[in-house]
A and B are shown apart, each in its own frame.
Chain A
Amino acid sequence: MAPSCNPRSLWAPSVQPSGRPPLLCPPSTPASSPPPAGRSTLRGRRPTQAVARSPENPPLRAPRRHPNIQQQISVKSQLPMDSAVNGVRQPPARAGSRLCTRCGERKAALKRPKTLEQICRECFYIVFEDEIHQTIVDNNLFKPGDRVAIGASGGKDSTVLAYVLSELNRRHKYSLDLFLLSVDEGITGYRDDSLETVKRNEIQYGLPLKIVSYKDLYGWTMDDIVKAIGLKNNCTFCGVFRRQALDRGAALLKVDKIVTGHNADDIAETVLLNILRGDIARLSRCTFITTGEDGPIPRCKPFKYTYEKEIVIYPYYAILCIYSPNAYRGFAREFIKDLERLRPRAILDIIKSGENFRISTTTRMPEQGTCERCGYISSQKLCKACVLLDGLNRGLPKLGIGRTKGVAGGDSDTGSFDTVRLYKLTNYGCEMG
């Protein structure tokens, strides 16, 4: 097998027959040896799919339009597995010994959490991309001619999003002008590495890249902020600043929309967190596929119904933020993965629950205005970023975070109710990350 550009990216070879660019190409990953010959393996190329899509090579077989027939075939072919023969239970099926429930021809390689279908690599690529296309079409995410910024962190979600979106844009003629938009928080060893990934994406996918930095926008890098306030609460700064930074970058690019790589797991997690925090304002909008339509630049999430498992397996890649303790979010995430194991549909069901929440009409919702200082959307006099910056610049970095001395007393706690109370008391602050 020819060495792939990213030997760790499972199904994303560096050179594909269709001439596609490599999906991901992180530096200095050790080359892995190919699995032994004669075994079913998925590592390497995507020949069948790529050849079938090439205009010069019309597909020899067209299995994808007959799901029902294929289903029957595959059910039959699965029957002998795991079944008892002469009272002796057969050992579990080996890798790839079951057939794909979609095409009925190739060996299954993946169990889709969303549908429990067992499908092969080639069919996985088709359904993965088709479902995202369907989500885009069904929700009218874009208009022809739209300028669209892809919020690109260099992580797996946004990198897969950049690749899939540029691919779908070509294939289905969306006529979109796509841009990569990155925020440089100034975190040495984390963001500088992931920005390298984004710079490679710029070249690989031929998408113009704009990077906006906290240093330029706010005069502070995250490294500076952590030096000033320590590791607790730094995610509040980062979250608030990033949200604004993306909007400002998008304004500079004069785009009509921002797309982000939030996936189904992310949204289910956010639904749970908003319930746990009692944050009804966010609960009601966190499941919207498009948000901020009343604002200058709406945002949308084409991966709203895409499981993280499939995004990870599409190419494999992940990078971790070295500053994120974020334990509370972590618990919700772990809970979601527990649920997924028991009942994979749970993730979609939580999103559905979030969508169907109705807030009683007597509940007062926060009103949205603009920040007196910078003009950014805010439900308070000053937006959260301005409050946080005030604190940093005045040497009171805890300003706007959790309880502070003389306000609520007691030991410091970052519970959101206390945070909300503090905002009300000081008439400061607005959006939490």
Chain B
Amino acid sequence: MHLTLEFGGGLELLLEKSIKMHKVDVQPIDGQEKVMMKGLLSWVKSNLIKERPEMFLKGDSVRPGVLVLINDCDWELCGGLDAELEEKDVVVFISTLHGVL
């Protein structure tokens, strides 16, 4: 599944070359039909994050203070970790925790 991921507010510093925009191809976890946000987060952790994953994730979710938007809609309205992603969705991660990163 093709997704566009954007990282901002300092989160891009955790990625290789601090690139903010990533066009990625993510496959559903075995046994699941669709890519869920939960699966995307662990995919991002193992494929994109190069350092200090604790700045991005806490437990199985994003660190509190990281804003997530799916197609510019607050992910809290889309089901949070259980939100199902669709082809060509745009997912944005913005850290509001400045000064700590």
Contact = CB atoms under 8 A, between A and B. Distances in A.
Nearest to B99: A324
Interface string B1-38: 00010101110010000001100000000000000000
Interface string B55-96: 000000001110101111110111110111011111010111
Contacts of B92: 10, 316
Contacts of B70: 95
B15 to A, nearest CB: 13
A109 B95 CA distance: 18
B10 A93 contact: no
Contact of B95 (A8, A110, A313, A318): A318
A111 B76 contact: yes
Given A321-B99, A337-B65, A40 B71 contact: yes
Interface in A78-128: 91-96, 98, 107-111, 118
Given A42-B72, A330-B100, A35 B90 contact: yes
A32 B95 CA distance: 18
- Where chain A touches its partner, the secondary structure class is loop
A330 B97 contact: yes
Given A32-B90, A309-B67, A92 B82 contact: yes
Contacts of B82: 91-92
Nearest to B80: A92
Given A155-B98, A333-B65, A312 B9 contact: yes
Nearest to B37: A92
Interface string A202-224: 00000000000000000000000
Contacts of B77: 93, 95-96, 98, 108-111, 118
A315 to B, nearest CB: 11
A337 B97 contact: yes
Contacts of B9: 312, 316, 318
A91 B97 contact: no
Contacts of B96: 265, 308-309, 312, 318, 337
Contacts of B86: 94
Interface residues of A, number: 49
B35 to A, nearest CB: 13
B99 A320 contact: yes
A312 B69 CA distance: 12
B59 to A, nearest CB: 11
Which of B73, B79, B87, B99 neighbours the largest number of chain A CB atoms within 10 Å of its CB?
Answer: B73
A326 interface: yes
A314 B84 CA distance: 25
A30 B21 contact: yes
Nearest to A319: B98
B83 A92 contact: yes
Given A10-B69, A35-B90, A312-B96, A92 B64 contact: no
A29 to B, nearest CB: 7
B89 A316 contact: no
14 contacts: A35-B89, A36-B88, A36-B89, A40-B71, A41-B71, A41-B73, A42-B71, A43-B90, A92-B78, A94-B86, A309-B96, A312-B67, A327-B100, A338-B64
Interface of B: 4, 6, 8-10, 13, 20-21, 63-65, 67, 69-74, 76-80, 82-84, 86-90, 92, 94-101
Interface of A: 8, 10-11, 29-30, 32-33, 35-36, 39-43, 91-96, 98, 107-111, 118, 155, 265, 308-309, 312-313, 316, 318-321, 324, 326-327, 329-330, 333-334, 337-338, 340-341
8 nearest CB pairs, A to B: A92-B79, A337-B64, A337-B65, A95-B73, A42-B72, A330-B100, A318-B9, A111-B76
